Amino acid sequence: MASLLLLLFLAAITVTSQSYGSEFSIPRQIHLLRPQSGAAGSHVPGVTCLSWRLGVETNNIIGWKTVPAECEGYVGHYMLGQQYRADSKAITDEAFLYAQSLKPDGDGKDIWVFDIDETALSNLPYYAEHGFGADPYNATLFNKWVLEGKAPALPESLNLYRKLQSLGIKIVFITGRTEDQRTVTTNNLKKAGYRSWLKLVLKASSYSGKTAAFYKSSERAKLVSSGYRIVGNIGDQWSDLLGTNTGNRTFKLPDPMYYIS
């Protein structure tokens, strides 16, 4: 299954086109894959995979370790297919509509917090190769992938980033990546199209053993105490968006591949 998905993914990345009606043209690095017939009907005992994904995205199914084995194909086809892109666009479109309604003070203190993995950057090439279920996450292999610095932008997030900057809103990245990955992360962001930002916050060793929600809340609190106003916050994990100082509005991108508390 993983080999088939990877083959189809690699075939798709040769195609370029304009992103969904956006004023910006972005190479299609994450692309359409027609779901196999019946994929949406895959199920775990007592629940369809579509219902399982709904439970995950609404934060009703929590603390899970891996995608159910029966749903690996469904999740893979969703993530590499049109619906994931459409869902991401629906979220970022709404985020921009909200941003347009704001009345900035013009003092440079309005900021928007972005997560990085599966938000600003996509690791779909990694998952397409290693699979979407049965514990695809391997710390050694994933860190090797990160150090390659080849993660493409999620096009919908890159569009939002550019539009927010055009409104005078500054960008702050807060990521679970660690300080030793600062250089490669900086280079990867720039290569993917994120040319500038106010701050890039990486996880310090002092947060070892703490949850992602605690770490991100703490770092957001530092921003607020420095006089910044978090007008928006976008991420793929609920731990990006819960806790304290979450911002005036939060926006949850889809991600049924893994759960981070």
**pLDDT at position 1, please?**
53
Averaged pLDDT for residues 48-65? 95
Average pLDDT over all residues of the chain: 86
Q: Is the pLDDT of residue 85 over 70?
A: yes
Share of the chain above pLDDT 70, in %: 80
How does 23-36 read in b/e, with b if 16+ C-beta sit within 10 Å?
eeebbbbbbebebe
Averaged pLDDT for residues 117-121? 98
Query: Domains (ranges, CATH) in the chain?
Result: 2-252 (3.40.50.1000)
pTM score, two decimals? 0.85
Q: Does 202 or 68 have the greater pLDDT score?
A: 202
Averaged pLDDT for residues 30-56? 63
**pLDDT at position 32, please?**
41
Q: Does 1 or 165 have the greater pLDDT score?
A: 165
Specify the residue for token string 């050694």.
140
Q: Is the pLDDT of residue 8 over 80?
A: no
Inter-residue contact 224 to 230 (CB < 8 Å):
yes
**Which amino acid belongs to residue 235?**
G
**pLDDT at position 45, please?**
57
**pLDDT at position 9, please?**
46
Q: How far, in Å, CA of 79 to CA of 254, rounded?
A: 9
Q: Is the pLDDT of residue 97 over 70?
A: yes
Q: Are strands 47-48 and 229-235 parallel, antiparallel or unpaired?
A: unpaired
Specify the residue for token string 């910044």.
228
Q: List alpha helices for the chain, DSSP H.
A: 2-12, 49-57, 72-80, 82-100, 124-130, 139-148, 155-166, 182-192, 212-225
SS3 call for 44: strand
**pLDDT at position 104, please?**
81
Averaged pLDDT for residues 192-220? 97
